[in-house]
Amino acid sequence: MAGLNNSFFTSEMTLTNRGTQKAELTLTYTAAPYYGGGSGVASDTLPPGQQRIIPDAISYLRSLGIPIPASGDRLGTLAVRISGAASSDVSVTVRTTTAVMEGRAGLAYSGLSTPRVLTGPSYLCGLRQNATDRSNLAIQNVGTQADGDISLSVTVISGDPLAPGQFNLFDTLAPGEFRQFTKILTYTGLPISNGYVRVKRTSGTAPYYAYAVINDQSNSDGSFIPPIPEDYLIKQTDLIVPVIVENSLFNSELVVTNRSRNERTLSCSYVADAIQNSNSTADFVIKIGSGEQLILPDFVEYLRNTGVTGLGPKGSDFAGSLFD
């Protein structure tokens, strides 16, 4: 599928059977509207203990007899139903990439098991639209034909207190149907550069899924943003970021989103061997206003600039966990 800035994305798919029984696979491809058509159903098998890496998922599905066009933009969802083996033993992983001078750039994501689909409201956080990054949003009806259509509302909210605003979008999706909103923050023309999205099912009973992608404006390298169920953090008082790094090649960005109606104060501890304080720990506080989203692109440098002690000048390699 053609993307922005001369990108052209294709998907590699990996099928893995970790079990001891042959897996019978039923593959249902649902083409997205306006992207070539070609919906259909096919079957395949995956022997026990085998992993199959399929370089081009669309070509693979065509080889099984699904009537996807041979060329042009082709986009859709794929449901993989398993029999003959435990579904917990079989996994599906996809890498969607575009060619760049250094190789390929893109992102990877795994197939959804039933516990990961959504029925209640969810949030997609950390989105931005600027000269270096763009954000897209995708929504899907992941139910069966028996589950029927669903309607979803999408609320886009500015995370910048100096430029508040929000807008709503609405869509109805048939079973398996997919919809992408390119440059979601500016989709209606409202100039939101820092924001987040709330998705809610407003009618129907089928489960849904939503995700966002932040793409580099230069090479289309992407970050996959999974949804956060609205009730996920209820009564949750402690959060852990597994690793925050800073070295000559990489640094970590931290995003803090406050979707509540009250200002919040986070009491944080960053633990890394390179920190010169006792116990290799730097303690600090982050305050964030109601509805605000903080995007901190180089987090360790942010701590230096705000006067957190024990970090020293740039040059040491930092790798450690962040506790709230």
Please give the structure tokens belonging to residue 161: 């207190």
Q: Is the pTM value of this prediction over 0.75?
A: yes
State pLDDT tens for residues 80-119: 999 999 999 999 999 999 888 888 888 999 999 888 899 9
- Residue 300, pLDDT score: 97
The Cα-based distances of 173 to 32, 33, 164, 196 in angstroms read 10, 10, 30, 22
Per-residue pLDDT of the chain (324 residues; tens, 9 = 90+): 777 777 889 999 999 999 999 999 999 999 988 878 899 999 999 999 999 999 999 999 999 999 999 998 898 999 999 999 999 999 999 999 988 888 888 899 999 988 889 999 999 999 999 999 999 999 999 999 999 999 999 999 999 999 999 999 999 999 999 999 999 999 999 999 999 999 999 999 999 999 999 999 988 888 999 999 999 888 778 899 999 999 999 999 999 999 999 999 999 999 999 999 989 999 999 999 999 999 999 999 999 999 999 999 999 999 999 998
9-107, which class in CATH?
mainly beta
Half-sphere exposure of 25 (CA within 13 A, CB side): 22
**What is the residue extent of each domain of the chain?**
9-107, 114-229, 240-323
Asked if 157 contacts 291 with a C-beta cutoff of 8 angstroms, the reply is yes
- Residue 230, pLDDT score: 94
Q: Which residues contact 127 (CB under 8 A, 6 or more apart)?
A: 135, 137, 184, 185, 194, 195, 196, 197, 212, 214, 225
Asked if 17 contacts 90 with a C-beta cutoff of 8 angstroms, the reply is yes
The fold of 114-229 is Hypothetical Protein Tm1070; Chain: A (2.60.290)
